[in-house]
Amino acid sequence: MRITVEAHPNARLARLELADTTLRIWVAARAIDGQANAAIEATIAGALGLRNRQVRIVSGARSRQKTVELDLADMGELRERLAQSNRA
């Protein structure tokens, strides 16, 4: 499935939240030489219990608005996995 991601690089703390169908993500990495993109993929994978290769930025590599492909079935599974990671 593909989802829109709103990136916030150079943040104090890494966190993510789902707002409607957009995933907002804050990462400490700076937007230099793809550091923030790598951190975004790793943070999403960690929060959702996926491997890094199961999360790919497919468009918007140089923008705050990105499209990310996740190896998940649907939005319901995404919400369920986020809820589980928030409980842990």
Q: Could you tell me the pTM of the whole model? A: 0.92
Task: Inform me whether the pLDDT recorded for 7 exceeds 80.
Answer: yes
Q: For residue 86, what pLDDT is reported? A: 76
Give the tens place of pLDDT for each residue, 13-41.
989 999 989 999 999 999 999 999 999 99
CATH code of domain 2-87? 3.30.1200.10
Please give the Cα distance from 13 to 15 (Å, whole number): 6
Task: Inform me whether the pLDDT recorded for 46 exceeds 80.
Answer: yes
**CA pseudo-torsion sign 79, 84, 87, 88:** negative
Task: Inform me whether the pLDDT recorded for 88 exceeds 70.
Answer: no
Domain ranges of the chain: 2-87
